């Protein structure tokens, strides 16, 4: 039960709150305690509650081993305020929970939070459908050039061009999509990124998780392409970047002891003051780096962390949605946290807390938080920030599949195509999906789609009365060599062939050629002299 992962869905923090209360009430050992010469059945001490809940949270994958005893104490204080627990005199709300021998008990029914009304973001007009070939323009025709007329090919020209080219080609036009604008490119990235995110999260819809109006395609394009060699976002407006003194302080800690480029005096405790300078800047930001709008998206990702590759891809997609200044700050902060934790030359930054735990506690609420502070925000942010810090080198990479599919779609839109006049079939729109068929069906479709025009060409050749019989027989032989299946289907027997083709006069042998002239009897002329 402790390893259960709460399923994805909107308002997951409320689900976790209710689930934690059920586990806490159902598992905490209750017994008789004495206080002030009086016994209290089914009670527990504050220290017992902290011990049990701390162990419960650390073993629960939704929170993990990074949960501290202090965070557990803070959660129990929220439990007391919400009347999940009460002291043995029935008081709650105003008292402060104490981690000692003070006695507490459960009320008859610990209140669970009700789920707020789920907001539906049905208006998906801001998420445009992928641009397709529905809109096209004809390529401009060259002026002052007479249109080419259909011409009858000679036998030699016919053989050179195609062995079965019969008749005139239908009038056709060369078309192409109008020039793709920057705004359309932004919309394509926006639409395809949202679709990929929905698929990775395993959701049927992003309703209640992500409002389409909060997705900016321009931000996505900037985060993909405007980066330096190390993958850090580069801002066009330098006024949106962090102050120089903050960047210098972060470099100092990240490269300690060689990061004091300003040559400031390195007095004892200098590194702690530098860390405090960086922490003060991030803690004073107006909203968390992951923004309030994307809170539900990142909370949903928490349940995917057992599948590391899936969780990493989900973070890659989600962080693309961030405004570029937020993404840049987050990249630099996580890189700083990772380097500080891995630097053996850096002195301890706190006398009581390990460096890794200190970094997570100090910056987690600067990364993730809700606009209405949730009771589990601190625990959830700790879990997420720990994962992001451990995988900061990969979560800011653009998913290769997303990049290739967007580029393939844009390339498709830029291709010129041919449209035949009177054609009932429109091949201009790219298919929305593909349906898998059996190999036999595929072969049948291939044969039918290829043979139909060839059969028409063969019939046209047979019906051509202006073509001399000799040339017709010659072309039919060429057709038979090139397409024996179509030819044999049309002429299964010699009788069918003889019925459709003109009869050929029999060729006489040389010794019988004289029979072609009418017989004349031998006559000898005689002449006499008088």
CB 340 within 8 A of CB 355: yes
CA-wise closest residue to 17 among 262, 299, 275, 213: 299
pLDDT at 313: 95
Q: Which of 71-85, 171-185, 318-332 has the highest mean pLDDT?
A: 318-332
Q: Percent of the chain, pLDDT > 70?
A: 71
Rounded mean pLDDT of 421-440?
Answer: 50
- DSSP per-residue string spanning 310-345: HHHHHHHHHHHTS-HHHHHHHHHHHHHHHHHHH-TT
In the three-class reduction of DSSP (H, G, I as helix; E, B as strand; rest coil), residue 120 is classed as: coil
Q: Give the Cα-Cα-Cα angle 500, 505, 507 (nearest 5 degrees).
A: 135
* pLDDT of 169 strictly over 70: no
* pLDDT of 46 strictly over 50: yes
* pLDDT tens digits, 501-528: 766 555 555 554 444 445 455 444 444 4
CA-wise closest residue to 3 among 50, 58, 59: 59
In the three-class reduction of DSSP (H, G, I as helix; E, B as strand; rest coil), residue 34 is classed as: strand
Rounded mean pLDDT of 361-379?
Answer: 83
Mean pLDDT is lowest, of 35-49, 270-284, 396-410, for 35-49
Rounded mean pLDDT of 414-424?
Answer: 58
Q: DSSP E strands: which ranges in 343-482?
A: 417-420
Contacts with 358 (C-beta within 8 Å, 6 or more apart), sequence order: 349, 350
Q: Position of tokens 């109006």?
A: 213
Pairwise CA distance, residues 321 & 194, whole Å: 9
* pLDDT tens digits, 465-503: 888 888 888 888 888 888 888 888 888 888 877 777 766
Tell me how far CA of residue 94 lies from CA of 87, 112, 519, in angstroms.
11, 19, 140
Contacts with 349 (C-beta within 8 Å, 6 or more apart), sequence order: 271, 272, 275, 340, 355, 358
pLDDT at 51: 94
* pLDDT of 422 strictly over 60: no
CA-wise closest residue to 82 among 72, 92, 91: 92
CB 377 within 8 A of CB 296: no
pLDDT at 398: 95
pTM across the whole model = 0.64
Mean pLDDT of the chain: 78
Q: Which of 118-122, 193-197, 514-518 has the highest mean pLDDT?
A: 193-197
Pairwise CA distance, residues 183 & 221, whole Å: 10
* pLDDT of 170 strictly over 80: no
Pairwise CA distance, residues 193 & 184, whole Å: 14
CA-wise closest residue to 247 among 324, 316, 335: 335
* pLDDT tens digits, 309-367: 999 999 999 999 999 999 999 999 999 999 999 999 899 999 988 999 999 999 999 99
* pLDDT of 209 strictly over 70: yes
pLDDT bracket for residue 461 (50, 70, 90)? confident
Mean pLDDT is lowest, of 90-94, 132-136, 223-227, 384-388, for 132-136
* pLDDT of 240 strictly over 90: yes
* pLDDT of 30 strictly over 70: yes
Rounded mean pLDDT of 228-238?
Answer: 93
* pLDDT of 267 strictly over 70: yes
pLDDT at 442: 63
Checking DSSP bridges between strand 86-87 and strand 103-105, what pairing results, if any?
antiparallel
């Amino acid at each position: 039960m402790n390893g259960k992962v709460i399923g994805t869905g909107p308002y997951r923090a409320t689900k976790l709150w209710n689930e934690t209360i059920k586990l806490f009430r159902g598992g905490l050992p209750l017994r008789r305690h004495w206080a002030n010469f009086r016994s209290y059945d089914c009670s527990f001490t504050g220290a017992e509650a902290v011990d049990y809940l701390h162990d419960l949270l650390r073993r629960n994958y939704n929170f993990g081993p990074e949960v501290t005893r202090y965070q557990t104490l803070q959660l129990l204080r929220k439990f007391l305020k919400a009347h999940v627990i009460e002291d043995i005199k029935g008081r709650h709300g105003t008292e402060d929970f104490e981690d000692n021998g003070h006695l507490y008990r459960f009320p008859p029914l610990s209140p669970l939070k009700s789920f707020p009304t789920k907001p539906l973001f049905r208006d998906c007009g801001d998420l445009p459908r992928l641009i397709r070939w529905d809109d096209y323009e004809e390529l401009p025709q060259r002026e002052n050039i007479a249109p080419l007329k259909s011409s009858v090919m000679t036998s030699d020209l016919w053989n050179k061009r195609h062995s079965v080219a019969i008749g005139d080609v239908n009038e056709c036009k060369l078309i192409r999509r109008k020039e793709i604008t920057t705004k359309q490119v932004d919309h394509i990235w926006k639409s395809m990124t949202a679709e990929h995110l929905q698929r990775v999260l395993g959701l049927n819809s992003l309703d209640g998780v992500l409002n389409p109006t909060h997705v900016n395609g321009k931000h996505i394009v900037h985060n993909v392409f405007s980066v330096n060699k190390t993958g850090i976002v580069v801002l066009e407006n330098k006024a949106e970047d962090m102050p120089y003194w903050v960047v210098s302080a972060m470099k100092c800690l990240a490269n300690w002891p060689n990061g004091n480029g300003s040559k400031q005096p390195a007095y004892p405790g200098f590194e702690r003051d530098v860390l405090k300078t960086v922490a003060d800047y991030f803690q004073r930001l107006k909203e968390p780096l992951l923004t309030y709008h994307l809170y539900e998206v990142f909370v949903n990702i928490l349940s995917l962390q057992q599948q590391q590759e899936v969780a990493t891809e989900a973070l890659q997609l989600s962080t693309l949605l961030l405004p570029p200044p937020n993404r840049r700050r987050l990249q630099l902060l996580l890189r700083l946290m990772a380097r500080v934790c891995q630097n053996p030359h850096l002195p301890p930054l706190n006398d009581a807390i390990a460096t890794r735990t200190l970094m997570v506690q100090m910056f987690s609420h600067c990364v993730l938080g809700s606009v209405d502070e949730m009771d589990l925000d601190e625990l959830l942010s700790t879990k997420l920030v720990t994962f992001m810090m451990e995988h900061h080198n990969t979560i800011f990479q653009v998913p290769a599949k997303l990049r290739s599919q967007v580029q393939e779609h844009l390339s498709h839109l830029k291709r010129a195509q041919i449209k035949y006049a009177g054609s009932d079939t429109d091949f201009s729109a790219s298919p929305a999906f593909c349906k898998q068929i059996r190999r036999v069906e595929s072969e049948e479709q291939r044969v039918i789609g290829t043979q139909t025009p060839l059969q028409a060409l063969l019939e046209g050749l047979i019906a051509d009365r202006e073509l001399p019989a000799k040339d017709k027989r010659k072309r039919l032989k060429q057709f038979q060599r090139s397409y024996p299946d179509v030819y044999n289907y049309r002429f299964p027997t010699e009788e069918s062939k003889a019925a459709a083709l003109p009869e050929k006069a029999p060729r006489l042998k040389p010794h019988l050629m004289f029979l072609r002239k009418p017989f004349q009897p031998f006559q000898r002329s005689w002449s006499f002299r008088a």
